[in-house]
Amino acid sequence: MQREKIKKNRWKQLHMYYTYTGFYKFIRDGLKSAFLPTALIVGALFYVHYYVININDALTLLTQRYSDLTIFSVFFASESILGLLPPDIWIAWTKNTDYPILYLALLAILSYLGGVVSYLLGKAMLIIPAVNNFMFNKMSKHIANMRKWGGLLIAVGALLPLPFAMAAMAAGMIKFNFKNFLLFALLRLMRFVVYGFAIYQML
């Protein structure tokens, strides 16, 4: 009974901390800012699918024009450098390959490894003072959030349509424990399972 009470108080304290530090507001604002671009991408895909060219035919054409290695390489580069391109496009691409589940798994692993690269890049920046100062100024908000919320921010970045690469880089810049980072970042794999299932149903 005493243990349950302590546990309940701990959760209450954590809830108060995340409320006070603005974590819930950060999630809400992040999802709002991600909603419009996501809606535009989905809307554009539906428009192209019904009025220009069948998406499945377009993705098949993509597989014929570019090698799998090229497509995977571009994806890995994007996931390693600030997550510039939404991974949903690549998830849709895997459905039209000969081995969709295998390719989806490869995407998930590459995305995870891309986060590791971002972490290491963030840590490497500490070696060069000029670059470090520049990036600290550019990413001051992400770094401040990482110091406040740590692993929880990495988990949120891994699961939700928020900039995972930037969260990973910020973790590296503050020297967040690498082993803990690897554990929290594993949630990135779950994102591809869920999004893959949803996108496969749509196409």
Length of the chain (residues): 203
Rounded Cα gap, residues 108 and 158, in angstroms: 11
pLDDT band at 117 (very low <50, low <70, confident <90, very high): very high
HSE on the CB side for 199, CA within 13 Å?
25
Rounded Cα gap, residues 78 and 58, in angstroms: 21
pLDDT band at 159 (very low <50, low <70, confident <90, very high): confident
Please tell me the pTM assigned to this model. Answer: 0.79
pLDDT of residue 186: 94
Rounded Cα gap, residues 195 and 197, in angstroms: 5
Q: What is the pLDDT of residues 75-90, one digit of tens each?
A: 999 899 877 777 888 8
Report the amino acid identity of residue 16.
Answer: M
The full DSSP string for 112-129 is HHHHHHHHHHHHHGGGSH
Q: What is the pLDDT of residues 46-55, one digit of tens each?
A: 666 666 666 6
Helix 151-159 with 140-149: angle, nearest 10 deg: 110
**Residues 174 and 87: beta-carbon distance below 8 Å:** no
Own/partner long-range contacts of 13-18 (Cβ < 8 Å, ≥24 apart): 18/149, 18/152
Domain layout of the chain by residue ranges: 66-202
pLDDT band at 60 (very low <50, low <70, confident <90, very high): low
Please choose, from the candidates 54, 62, 72, 164, the residue with its C-alpha nearest in 3D space to the C-alpha of residue 119.
Answer: 164
